[in-house]
């Protein structure tokens, strides 16, 4: 019986994780759940899964949740704040941590899990994008293991040879190819992209995701951040990483070997597949995902990403090649610009403009050696991105 903490339990990854866990009551028990603002959903999850601890963002939310839980006869302890997140990520009673808090907000708790030697199911790609070396050093020092949850990185993990020599080139790997759906604007005109609304950008054709990551998919910044994540996860250089657009979202990524073989992982577009793979690893467990019917899918198409439609993908490449603090700067700028777009303060095309401006100005900074150093870089980039966004106000 494995004890699991789910950080970001009310988001799409957290909900899918709890769905898989509920299918295997003999294998898993929920130790702790966290949420920031979705108290109603967290309340329902606590009644269903009866965690030892539930963590929320602030004292007001904590008091509200605790009152409702006690009235419902649920004894889960309620805590709040960043320190409480660190505690449920590193608690002695926990074996596995699903790190699914979106954005920079998930960094500290992911590092706490790493230092405590947990099995980390990593859905928070920002831990590696912002602080790749810091996070990996914490994993090595604490004896933590990482199992990737992003569908693309989990697919690569499944297609790689058994863990051993590093880097992967020494195991005969020539290239890693990350697939991208192309999002809602793959075939849109540049004029339509320029005028896109938040609802249009969030209308993903294949995946059901939160609004921030949906916008990242529409700009393909999500794929750019995944390139940086793959660099750290699999210890591969930029030259061995490629992106290919695959609109059906059936092939989740591919690994090419020096003998010409290409291995791919296929499946229906449902995050419960990589979650179940990671939860059960090295065994396979049921996920609840429908079997893949290739005859019904009919065809699998692939194309190169359009650099004109998706300038954010190029920016991520630039940040990866620059190294140092550049990936952290880009991630911070993107979080601010996407938020401004969702609040209808800037246009969709302005996201790339803000990201480019901030990366050009601050991308040469050295990488932070500690989490606090990384967060200082993050805050400087956010401040500049807010300033740039104000300059583009509609």
Q: Identify whether residues 156 and 144 lie together within a single domain.
A: no
Q: Identify whether residues 6 and 120 lie together within a single domain.
A: yes
Residue 277 is assigned to a structural domain of this protein: no
**Domain count of the chain?**
3
Q: Identify whether residues 42 and 109 lie together within a single domain.
A: yes
Q: pTM for the complete prediction?
A: 0.93
Q: Of 125, 149, 173, which residue sits at a domain end?
A: 149
Residue 285 is assigned to a structural domain of this protein: no
Q: Identify whether residues 22 and 127 lie together within a single domain.
A: yes
Query: Quick check: 115 and 140 in contact, CB under 8 A?
Result: no
Q: Of 275, 310, 345, which residue sits at a domain end?
A: 310
Residue 248 is assigned to a structural domain of this protein: yes
Which pLDDT belongs to residue 104? 87
Q: Identify whether residues 130 and 162 lie together within a single domain.
A: no
Q: Identify whether residues 87 and 108 lie together within a single domain.
A: yes
Q: Identify whether residues 134 and 155 lie together within a single domain.
A: no
Cα dihedral 244→173→234→264 (10° resolution):
50
Q: Identify whether residues 188 and 100 lie together within a single domain.
A: no
What CATH number does residue 341 fall under?
1.10.1740.10
Residue 275 is assigned to a structural domain of this protein: no
Range of the domain at 354: 323-394
Token pair listed for 201: 């950008």
Q: Identify whether residues 336 and 351 lie together within a single domain.
A: yes
Along the 394 residues of the chain, how does pLDDT read in single tens digits?
999 999 999 999 999 999 999 999 999 999 999 999 899 999 999 999 999 999 999 999 999 999 999 999 999 999 999 999 999 999 999 999 999 998 889 999 999 999 999 999 999 988 999 999 999 999 999 999 999 999 999 999 999 987 544 567 667 999 999 999 999 999 999 999 999 999 999 988 777 678 898 999 999 999 999 999 999 999 999 999 999 999 999 999 999 999 999 999 999 999 999 999 999 999 999 999 999 999 999 999 999 999 999 999 999 999 999 999 999 999 999 999 999 999 999 999 999 999 999 999 999 988 878 899 999 999 999 999 999 998 776 5
Q: Which of 107, 163, 162, 24 is nearest to 371 (CA)?
A: 107
Residue 350 is assigned to a structural domain of this protein: yes
* Distance of alpha carbon 111 from alpha carbon 99, whole angstroms: 10
Which pLDDT belongs to residue 394? 56
What CATH number does residue 95 fall under?
3.40.50.720
What is the separation, in whole angstroms, between the first and last Cα of the chain? 54
Q: Identify whether residues 54 and 168 lie together within a single domain.
A: no
Residue 214 is assigned to a structural domain of this protein: yes
Q: Of 130, 149, 168, which residue sits at a domain end?
A: 149
Q: Identify whether residues 9 and 112 lie together within a single domain.
A: yes
CA pseudo-torsion sign 219, 387, 124, 204: negative
Q: Identify whether residues 155 and 140 lie together within a single domain.
A: no
Residue 202 is assigned to a structural domain of this protein: yes
Which pLDDT belongs to residue 79? 98
Residue 318 is assigned to a structural domain of this protein: no
């Amino acid at each position: 019986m494995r004890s699991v903490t789910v950080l970001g339990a009310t988001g799409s990854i957290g909900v899918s994780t709890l769905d898989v866990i509920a299918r295997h009551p003999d294998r898993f028990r929920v130790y702790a759940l966290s949420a920031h603002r979705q108290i109603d959903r967290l309340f329902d999850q606590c009644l269903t899964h009866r965690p030892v601890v539930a963590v929320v963002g602030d004292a007001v939310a904590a008091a509200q949740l605790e009152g409702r839980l006690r009235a419902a006869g649920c004894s889960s302890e309620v805590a709040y704040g960043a320190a409480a997140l660190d505690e449920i990520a590193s608690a002695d009673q926990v074996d596995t941590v699903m790190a699914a808090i979106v954005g920079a907000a998930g960094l500290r708790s992911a590092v706490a899990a790493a230092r405590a030697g947990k099995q980390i199911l990593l859905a928070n790609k920002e831990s590696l994008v912002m602080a790749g070396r810091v996070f990996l050093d914490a994993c090595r020092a604490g004896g933590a293991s990482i199992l990737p949850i992003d569908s693309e990185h989990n697919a690569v993990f499944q297609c790689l040879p058994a863990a051993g020599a590093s880097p992967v080139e020494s195991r005969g790997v020539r290239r890693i190819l990350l697939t991208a759906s192309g999002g809602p604007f793959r075939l849109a005109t540049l004029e339509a992209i320029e005028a896109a609304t938040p609802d249009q950008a969030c209308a993903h054709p294949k995946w059901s995701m939160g609004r921030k990551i949906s916008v990242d998919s529409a700009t393909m910044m999500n794929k750019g951040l995944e390139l940086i994540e793959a660099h750290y996860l699999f210890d591969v250089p930029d030259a061995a990483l490629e992106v290919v657009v695959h609109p059906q979202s059936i092939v989740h990524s591919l690994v090419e070997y020096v003998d010409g073989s290409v291995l791919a992982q296929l499946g229906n577009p449902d995050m419960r597949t990589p979650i179940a793979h990671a939860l059960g690893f090295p065994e396979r467990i049921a996920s609840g995902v429908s079997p893949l019917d290739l005859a019904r899918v009919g065809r699998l198409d692939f194309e190169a990403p359009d650099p004109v439609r998706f300038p954010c993908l190029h920016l991520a490449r630039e940040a990866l090649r620059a190294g140092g603090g550049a990936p952290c700067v880009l991630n911070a700028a993107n979080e601010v610009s996407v938020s401004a777009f969702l609040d209808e303060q800037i246009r969709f095309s302005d996201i790339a403009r803000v990201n480019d401006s901030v990366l050009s100005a601050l991308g040469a900074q050295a990488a932070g050696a500690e989490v606090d150093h990384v967060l200082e870089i993050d805050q400087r980039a956010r401040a500049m991105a807010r300033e740039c966004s104000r300059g583009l106000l509609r």
